Amino acid sequence: MRIGDAKQSYEADEAIWTSSTQKIWFAALLLTLAVFPFIADAYLLYLGCLVGIAVISTTGLNILTGFTGLISLGQAGFMGVGGYTVAWLSMNTALPFPVTLLLAGLLAAAVGILVGLPSLRVKGLYLAIATLAASVFLHFIFAEWESVTGGMGGLSLEPAHLFGLTFQSDFGMYFIIVPLAVLMVFAAKNVFRTRIGRAFIAIRDRDISAEILGINLLRYKLMSFALSSFYAGVAGGLFAYFYRVVTPESFPLSMSIFYLAAVIVGGMGNLLGGILGAAFMTLIPEVLKLLTAALTPFYPNAPIFMSPMLEIIFGALIVGFLIFEPHGLAEIWHRIRRFFSIWPFRN
């Protein structure tokens, strides 16, 4: 049972963590994240980095689709803009990674604003098609603008560096990716504590009355596109540093659908949902592979039987979540929390 959390000031009441229990758990989480690379093997470390990148990109898409209600299939394209920016800068300049990532985010944001321009007129599925078109267009540029993007062969990168340190291994990249992911999720959380976040949600819920209440729709829709693509651009830049190569096929359309699925499975309009969704979508295929490996000693035919089944099981899991948990993984989390905050009472 949670008690003794009466507040003396509005500042305390509006804080992200409103009880010391929450602060302790969060500190424990940070500690786990910090210790993880020292105890994890190479494979887990690789997965940790992938989840970190997915969290940043999913949070970005969640701002646009989950909170502002604008469906986008352009996420992979925006990540591509970020990835190619970082790759080009690493080949042609000696800028350290914070600068290249920032520039990647800003360029992706500028592209996002351009792509978002039709959003004042078109909504829902029509906007999805408009962003899909933009995504195809960007893919075409990546493949054909050979002098800058290297065409179908793509670009190879120098490792990320800062103050003479280079981040070549997954171990090094983990310490760039995860702190950045934590920072960017916090920044997103802050946005939804202020007028700008409220304006986004108002546009999602009722755009006409939002306008009459004084919200300039075009300005805030474009701001949402810019912010969302900034996140995608940074995630794409990290992706480029992580794999040290970008090609047009690094950012396929299926990647946009992957992130949209992560937002929906995790819980639209819920930052925690975005994190859980990103982890779920990244890890479940791996878990299924591990299951197959575990079954092999008992059923030698398991790999032959299971590998074509993986996609089907993955798809079935997503459909199952949509049917039984339409508010996403975040809702399960909230149920667990509610249980403990009123424990030992039942209701």
Partner 1 sequence: MSSILEITNLSLSFGGVKALQDVSFHVPENTVTTVIGPNGAGKTSLFNCISGFYKPQQGSIRYQGEVLGGIKPPVRAAMGLARTFQNIALFRGMTVLDNIKLGAHVHMKSGLLGSLAYFGAARREEMAVRRHVEQHIIDFLEIDHIRRQPVASLSYGLQKRVELARALAMRPKVLMLDEPVAGMNREEKEDMARFILDIREEWGVTVLMVEHDMGMVMDISDHIAVLNFGQIITEGLPEEVQNNPQVIEAYLGTSDMDSLRKKLNPEREVA
Pick the piece of the chain touching partner 1 (CB under 8 A) from 17-25, 212-220, 238-246, 310-318: 212-220
Question: Is residue 116 part of the contact set for partner 1 (CB under 8 A)?
Answer: no
Name the minimum Å distance from CB 190 to partner 1.
4
Asked if residue 235 binds partner 1 (CB under 8 A), the reply is no
Contact with partner 1 (CB under 8 A): which of 50, 61, 191, 275? 191
209 near partner 1, rule: CB under 8 A: yes
- Token pair recorded at residue 56: 């940043």
Distance, in Å, from the CA atom of 77 to the CA atom of 117, rounded to the nearest integer, reads 16
Does 41 sit near partner 1 (CB under 8 A)?
A: no
| For partner 1, the closer CB: 269 or 274 | 269
C-alpha dist (Å) from residue 252 to 7, 20, 79, 259, 279:
49, 44, 10, 12, 20
Examine residue 5 and tell whether it contacts partner 1 (CB under 8 A). Answer: no
297 is a contact residue toward partner 1 (CB under 8 A): no
Work out which of 4, 214, 297, 300 binds partner 1, going by CB under 8 A. 214
Q: Kindly state the tokens that stand for 76.
A: 């992979």
C-beta closer to partner 1: residue 20 or 219: 219
Say which residues have a Cβ less than 8 Å from residue 194's Cβ, sequence separation at least 6. none
Q: How far is the CB of 201 from partner 1 (least distance, A)?
A: 5
What DSSP designation does 159 have?
P
- How many residues belong to the site for partner 1 (CB under 8 A)? 31
Least distance from partner 1 to the Cβ atom of residue 198, Å: 5
Cα Rg for the chain, rounded, in angstroms?
21
Q: What separation in angstroms does the CA of 287 have from each of 47, 267, 310?
A: 11, 21, 10
Q: Is 334 in the site for partner 1 (CB under 8 A)?
A: no
Tell me which of 121, 193, 335, 338 binds partner 1, using CB under 8 A: 193
Q: Is 11 in the site for partner 1 (CB under 8 A)?
A: yes
Cα distance between residue 279 and residue 262, in whole Å: 8
Q: In this chain, which of 1, 6, 212, 312 binds partner 1, going by CB under 8 A?
A: 212
Query: Does residue 64 belong to the site contacting partner 1 (CB under 8 A)?
Result: no
Strand intervals (E) in the chain: 155-156, 160-162, 165-167, 245-246
**Would you give the distance in Å from CA 294 to the centre of its chain?**
30
Q: Residues 180-198, buried b or exposed e (16+ Cβ, 10 A)?
A: bbbebbeebeebeeeeebe
Q: Contact residues for partner 1 (CB under 8 A)?
A: 10-11, 13-14, 187, 190-191, 193-199, 201-202, 204-206, 208-216, 223, 227, 269
